[in-house]
Chain A
Amino acid sequence: MREEGQISQQQFAFLLTAYLVGRSTLLTPVGPAKQDGWLAVLMGALLAGIPALIWLALGQRFGRQSPVTYIRQTLGEFLGLPLVILYFWLFLHMGAGVARNMSEMYVTALMPETPILVFSAAIVFLAASSVRSGVECISRLAEILTPWLVLFVMSLNVLTLSTPNLVHWQYLKPILGSGWLNLLRGAFLSFAFPFSEAVVFGFVFPHLNDSRSMRRYTLVTMAFVAVLLSVTYVRNLVVLGPYEIAHLTFPSLTAVEQIDLGDFFQRLEPLIILIWTFGGFLKLAILLYVVCLGSAQLLGLKDYRVLVLPFAILMTCLSVLIYENFAQVEEFYSTIYPLYTLPFALLLPALVLAIALIRGKLHVP
């Protein structure tokens, strides 16, 4: 198995940021929480600290070993191998979901006459070519693209909030009006999406060339993204109101369309499209990379590159097949998705960590 390239800590932070931000301004299913959605996001991030810490502990403990190896080691081949394959399925599914969301957005908002497949194929192909060029390529791209991504998100927030007559701060009230239970439900959803999607980074830890401050970088990045997403949700909320947010297809797009500062800062949708494209692309690249590399490890291949094209095609086809229409997407993400990702993000790594601790494995320096 070819020893792959390294990622520096900065690049890791950038990758994680892009991954988490990428799609989250597109879909923010905090459903029941309504006007407390922003609180839900923050709480979800807090909750997500738990699996993050578990994965970090695993990463520290097993150092250079990929989860593909240590899951099988800890749980035994009989149990571990199917679980690892399930993880790959999860990533493929997530990737297909990302591609599908993005294509839906492009088709709905920009070019209604183009079939979804075109966009899916295009963006998966882009991700595939960057995966072929290696992990260094992906991480360098992240270094270049993520600052712009964050900059645009922040500037869009600022611009929206400064547009006169657009902002209705009263939509924030009543705080906790829907009750604690709804807030918790919302938090749970936010925990699932996007934070537990970062489970894929557990598979990326082995590539860090310097794992000393792994914990700090990960947690700080998650906190930063949480705040960013929370502010974005507030922005959507105060512009559109809780009813609209729940019923619009793309609340962010609609919110951004309303920006109008002095007749000049108008029609800034390209910025949001840019954000989503970059974020989605990086997300797909990482997911595809992990799947290809892991499968190559499992199959004992010398080079993971042969697998890139087949998995890319698979992901593209999946993206078209998995949902019938957007309503289904919403429903899936609101109800099934959190329960679906919970075992992968939390339960399984907890189990692995527990068993590893019990067996008393020594620290790998």
Chain B
Amino acid sequence: MFAGLWERLFAKEAHNQGLVSVEPETVLTELARVRLPPQLDAATSLITKVLGGSPDIIRREITVAGARLAVIYIEGLADKSEVERVLNGLLIQRPKVEQVGLDLGSSLKRWREAGLPVGGIRSGSTLEDVAKALLDGETCLMGTGWDEVLILDTTGWENRAVAEPETEAAVRGPREGFIENLSTNVSLIRRRLRHPNLRLEDYTVGELTRTSVTALYIEGIAREKLVDEVRRRLTRIKIDGILESCYLEELIEDAPFSPFPTILNTERPDVVCAALLEGRVCILTDGTPFALLVPATFPVYIMTPEDYNQRWPVAVGIRVIRYLGLFIVPSLYVAFTTFHQEMLPTPLAVSLFMQREQVPYPVLVEAVIMQTTFEILTEAGLRLPRPLGQTIGIVGVLVIGEATVRAGLISAAMVIVVSATAIASYTIPVYDMTQAIRILRFPMIFLAATLGLFGILTGLIIIAIHLVSLRSFGVPFLAGFAPFVRRAQRDIIFRAPWWAMQTRPELVASDNRERQGPNLKPKPPESTSSGANETEAEALGGGNPTGTNGRKHR
């Protein structure tokens, strides 16, 4: 009596009647070996059991011309209106269906030809196909006695509307940003690059999330080796789940321990298209609006699409300002006040030290406290609900800053330095790079406080050594600066006008480098008589409504 009790006491409850294991890593491969039973009821109940009997698995059984068909889909993943359309088609198009005949497998082909009102139809035979299809939002159509299942493409779920990305707003430029849906994102790119050479490669990454990842590149411009390398790195990933493109980024990047990012991420399709035109590869991940671009070099992180959407003189000026913003650092202040007081102009030195009279600790401690406080405030500001955010901003900066200065905890100069640094660092368009610089600021402050100016130079040289050895998918990170390529100077610190950018960046694109024709600089048209001699009447009377020197008139 007690013999079987022990086993039954500790037997595992198998939801699917012991058909397959429940280990997540192996479920799908095991399901691939199970074919569907021919009886409709058995098949549908097996499918429901495999998926855990969730209440959002919807089964509809319909009788069409005497034969029983079953339609299964998962609510929320499949677009209900699509499914309704299929059902309507089945029920209304009965005469045609009767023509086709409803018996068995041989009619599967004719079911397809029968013209169900749905985008794509394919067939599946194993439980794995069915499970994957249902979980992708597709609908399964099964019939009694069929040995295969028809899988109808009805994918459609709730998505955000395409709107301007918050983190990358531009003054001038398209106001479209990627959303979480991969096919919409691909369409945003395809709309801008309407050429057959735009290639897409699909991958599925992540055991449990089965995230769709697409790599895009323009064949003929992107280097073969680069594309191969991307392929290689994406296919070797084995991970539970990919929830954001950052997971991918960390798994395929060149220097996991470097504070500097070597892969650019962006929410804007125009940035992606510009990069694709230069020969880079874009990696889109389903479920996140952030696209990855490889290879990424240092200048790329200081560029914004605005640089290209504005006219040349303005764009150059703004870019130079961004580069200058990199050099405003608190470590200089620390170094000079701690070690090299004699190098400050006397009035300035006097006032600085008067302010610091009340502060009970050395500049290093002051700097660290202030910088840390600022980091905390920044981080807190991100999490606050919007109405509170602005209030805290004002409170944090003005009141707390003012109060600490009054209390003698921090000198006013330090507040100014830290705030100026923070604001300057926000000119850097790409958040990853700002983060890198924030991280590096602390060691630099320590170096400045220990070895003064020499310490800062040491720190700079160490950072330089690191940057110089960094590579992004084979391209040196400081490409254009060092190795110094004269041609590339057209788009690194300065930006040449569009009519002067004849070639694509050498280190990124393959040999196909001419990107526009020569002699594109715009010139005003030749005028037969000089503008100064022309009278108003002649200009107005001339046949051309805009006049030979471009004046418009009503």
- Using a CB–CB distance below 8 Å, which chain A residues touch chain B? 8, 10-11, 106, 110-111, 114, 118-119, 122-123, 126, 129-130, 133-134, 136-137, 139-141, 143-145, 263, 266-267, 269-270, 273-274, 277-278, 281
Contact = CB atoms under 8 A, between A and B. Distances in A.
A140 B458 contact: no
Contacts of B458: 122-123, 126
Contact of A126 (B343, B344, B465, B484): B465
A267 B464 CA distance: 27
A133 B453 contact: no
B481 interface: yes
Contacts of A129: 462, 465
Nearest to B344: A267
8 contacts: A126-B461, A133-B465, A141-B464, A141-B482, A143-B481, A144-B464, A269-B340, A270-B453
Nearest to A269: B343
Given A118-B451, A270-B340, A133 B462 contact: no
A137 B468 contact: yes
Instruction: Give the contact-size bracket for chain B.
Output: 20 to 34
A102 B454 CA distance: 11
Most B CB contacts (10 A, CB to CB) among A126, A140, A273 go to: A140
Given A8-B483, A134-B469, A263-B345, 18 more contacts: A110-B339, A110-B340, A110-B452, A126-B462, A129-B462, A130-B461, A136-B468, A140-B482, A140-B483, A143-B482, A145-B464, A267-B342, A269-B340, A269-B343, A273-B453, A273-B454, A277-B454, A277-B461
B452 to A, nearest CB: 6
Contacts of B340: 110, 269-270
Contacts of B469: 133-134, 137
B478 interface: yes
Interface string B342-372: 1111000000000000000000000000000
Contacts of B104: none
Interface of B: 339-340, 342-345, 451-454, 457-458, 461-462, 464-465, 468-469, 476, 478, 481-484
A141 B470 CA distance: 13
A267 B478 contact: no
B254 to A, nearest CB: 14
Contacts of A10: 484
Contacts of B457: 273-274, 277-278
A9 B156 CA distance: 59
Q: Main secondary structure on chain A at its contact with chain B?
A: helix
Nearest to A118: B451
Contact of A111 (B339, B462, B478): B339
Most B CB contacts (10 A, CB to CB) among A129, A141, A274 go to: A141
Nearest to B478: A140
Contacts of A144: 464, 468, 478, 481-482
A126 B526 CA distance: 61
Contacts of A119: 454
A305 to B, nearest CB: 13
B454 A133 contact: no
Contacts of B464: 141, 144-145
A122 B483 contact: no
- For the complex of A and B, list the 7 residue pairs with the smallest distance between their C-beta atoms, beginning with the closest: A140-B482, A143-B482, A140-B468, A133-B469, A267-B343, A277-B457, A130-B465
A157 to B, nearest CB: 20
A104 to B, nearest CB: 13
A278 B469 CA distance: 18
Contacts of A139: 482
A273 B454 CA distance: 8
A145 B343 CA distance: 23
Nearest to B345: A266
Most A CB contacts (10 A, CB to CB) among B340, B457, B462 go to: B457
Contacts of B482: 139-141, 143-144
Given A11-B483, A267-B345, A270-B340, A122 B468 contact: no
Contacts of B462: 126, 129
B478 A281 contact: no
Contacts of A281: 461
Nearest to B459: A126
A157 B486 CA distance: 28
A262 to B, nearest CB: 12
A111 B483 CA distance: 36
Contacts of A106: 454
A163 to B, nearest CB: 16
A141 B484 contact: no
Given A266-B345, A267-B345, A269-B343, A141 B468 contact: yes
Nearest to A127: B461
Nearest to B458: A122
A10 B481 CA distance: 12
Most B CB contacts (10 A, CB to CB) among A106, A110, A114 go to: A110
